[in-house]
Amino acid sequence: MKTRKILVAFLISAFAFTACDNDNDNQTQAQKEKPTIDKIELGLGNNEIGTIGEDFHFNAEVVAGDKIESVQIKIAQISTEKYSKVWSHEINWPQYTGAKNTTIHKHFDIPTDAPEGKYDFIIIIKDQNGTTLEVKKTLNIYAAGNLPVNPVSSTFTLFKNEDFFYRKGKYYKEGDSFKTGDKVMSQVTLTGVKGNGIMYLLLINKNAKHLPESVDQIDFTKVIVYDVYEHKDMAEVGTFSNVPFNASNNTFLREIPELFIGAQKDNNVPAQGITGTKAWASGTYVYMVVYKNTTYNINFSQSIEVPINL
């Protein structure tokens, strides 16, 4: 009888210890911090649009609970949508393993075999502490010919003192540079636009480490605005230029803007002082067009390098 009582007491004690241990395990798991994610951008300007066979922009800021184990994205079809064929896509980026926090800034092509349609864009962050974060966004994939607008440059020309500096994809004088007092002029024409849109033409010192891919990303404390120009209420797809031309009477409808190297103010509206982090300096600059179609939330950018020797 005494042996039986001892055995029962042992079993009760063992059960209590196991239950307590399980509670501790559950509590420890619950206390582990999951990864967090912020500032997600799908497509330029976060327009949630991908074009088949063309470059796609993805950005996100991730903070791990402990350290990142893996980063993966999946593009998956939605059961309630219709597609021309079954298709999916996934990418893993192992270079983020072991990081505590990171900015994921990636460009990749939407595969040429992707059918058009509305998709789930799934971001999966696994932590080394065993937790997982999964975020689902919407991505619309188009063939280029079916985009509501598809801005591309047909003219990207930069002048130095009335002479060509860059035209038709090449520099006119290899090794040439701008100097203090030189006059900067430029004409940029985009095709495939309609509705409303705005274009910025910018000079940015490469040391600023700032290359905006969309208008919403422009940090005006780091850029010199050569020109800013808008189009409004374009009913049909057509061209848009910062120096519009009337072919019927061979006249320009807007004077080409001028900006002198070393100027105290830029051509923004209103004009901004060229001081502080964007003050003139010798070095390599980036000259770029950044355009946003505000009707369809589609962005375009293009750039070249420009040496400046004050």
Assigned domain for 229 exists? yes
Are residues 57 and 197 both part of a single domain? no
pLDDT band, very low/low/confident/very high, at 8 (cuts 50, 70, 90): very low
Q: Give the chain's mean pLDDT.
A: 91
Q: Is the pLDDT of residue 19 over 80?
A: no
Tell whether the torsion through CA atoms of 137, 141, 147 and 150 is positive or negative.
Answer: positive
Token code pair at residue 198: 């705005």
CA separation for the pair 77, 89 (Å, rounded) = 10
**Overall number of domains in the chain:** 2
Closest CA to 130 of 24, 33, 36: 33
Assigned domain for 12 exists? no
Q: What Cα–Cα distance (Å) separates residue 196 from each residue in 128, 255, 283?
A: 47, 21, 36
Summarize pLDDT for 42-66 with one digit per residue, the tens: 998 888 999 999 999 999 999 999 9
Are residues 185 and 286 both part of a single domain? yes
Summarize pLDDT for 149-176 with one digit per residue, the tens: 999 999 999 999 999 999 999 999 989 9
Assigned domain for 10 exists? no
CATH number at residue 88: 2.70.50.60
Parallel, antiparallel, or unpaired for β 245-246 and 178-179? unpaired
Q: Is the pLDDT of residue 228 over 80?
A: yes
Token code pair at residue 57: 């922009």
Identify the H or E element spanning 12.
helix 2-31
Q: Which residue has the tokens 């891919």?
A: 213
Q: Is the pLDDT of residue 12 over 50?
A: no
Token code pair at residue 89: 């896509």
What confidence score (pLDDT) does residue 261 get?
A: 98
CATH number at residue 299: 2.60.40.3880
Strand, helix or coil for residue 51: strand
Are residues 162 and 305 both part of a single domain? yes
Closest CA to 105 of 167, 56, 157, 155: 56
Among 146, 168, 196, the domain boundary falls at 146
Summarize pLDDT for 94-146 with one digit per residue, the tens: 999 999 999 999 999 999 999 999 999 999 999 999 999 999 999 999 999 89
